[in-house]
Amino acid sequence: MTFVPLVGTLAYIYDRQAEQVLLIRRDARPDDDHFGKVNGLGGKLEIGEHVYAGLRREINEEAGIEIVSSSLRGTIAWTDFGPKREQWLGFIFLVDEWDGDFRTENEEGSLEWVSLTRLLDACHHDDLIRAEANLPIWEGDRHFIPLIFDDDPRCFHGAMPYDGNDFKGWSYERN
C-alpha cells in the first residue's frame, strides 16, 4: 500500500541556558484529537509552503516568535495515527534561538516551559517515573524525544505505526 501522508512540522523550542523546553498543553478544545496531551509546537504544511516555511509560520502563529536558529533532528512516518487514523510525515526540529516575546496560550492550549530533565523523565519506560513527571505525552513520543536532545549530530528517520490511539512500534535509523 502506498504511503500518502499529511506533511507537518514538530518543533521543540529549547532554552539552553535555562535547560527548559517550551511545550503546548492541548487543553483548549475538547474536540482536539490531541486534547489532554503535551507536545511540541507545529502543524500541517499549507499549499505552496516548503517544510521550513511551514515551521516558521506555525511557530509564529502558536508561540508568537520568529526562529533565528534551528536544526532538523529527524523525520517520522506515523501511520494510522489518532482517532482519524491519519498518515503523517513529520519533520522534527530543535529550535534554539528566536526573536520576540512568547505567548502564554493559543487557540490549541496553554504554553509552558518545562525542564529538559522533566521532559526526558516523561519519556522513561517506568510508569511511576513518567507519572511523577506529569507530562501526558503520546506513548510513541517517549521513543523519539530523547533523540532530539542527544549529542548525535545525525538526523534520525523513524517509522511509528499506531492503531488509532494505540502505539504499535518504533524503528529508526540515523544518517
Instruction: Give which of 43, 2, 173, 20 is closest to 95, Cα–Cα.
Output: 20
Q: Which domain holds residue 130?
A: 6-168
pLDDT at 120: 94
Residue 1 in any domain: the answer is no
Chain-centroid distance, C-alpha 87: 16
Domain annotation covers residue 173: no
pLDDT band of residue 42 (cuts 50, 70, 90) is very high
What's the pLDDT score for residue 133? 65
- The domain total for the chain is 1
Residue 92 has pLDDT above 90, yes or no: yes
| pLDDT-based confidence at residue 33 (cuts at 50, 70, 90) | confident
Taking the C-alpha atoms of 54, 66, 154 and 18 in order, what is their torsion angle to the nearest 10 degrees? -140
Would you say residue 175 lies in a domain?
no
DSSP state of 152: -
CB 74 within 8 A of CB 118: no
In a domain, 106, yes or no: yes
For the domain that residue 102 is a member of, what is the CATH number?
Answer: 3.90.79.10
Contact 40, 12 (CB under 8 A): yes
- Compute the distance between CA of residue 125 and CA of residue 10 in angstroms, rounded to an integer: 22
The pLDDT score that the predictor gives to residue 128 is 59
The pTM of this model reads 0.94
The values of phi and psi at residue 101, to 5°, are: -105, 135
CB within 8 A of 126, min separation 6: which ones? none
Is 36 a domain residue?
yes
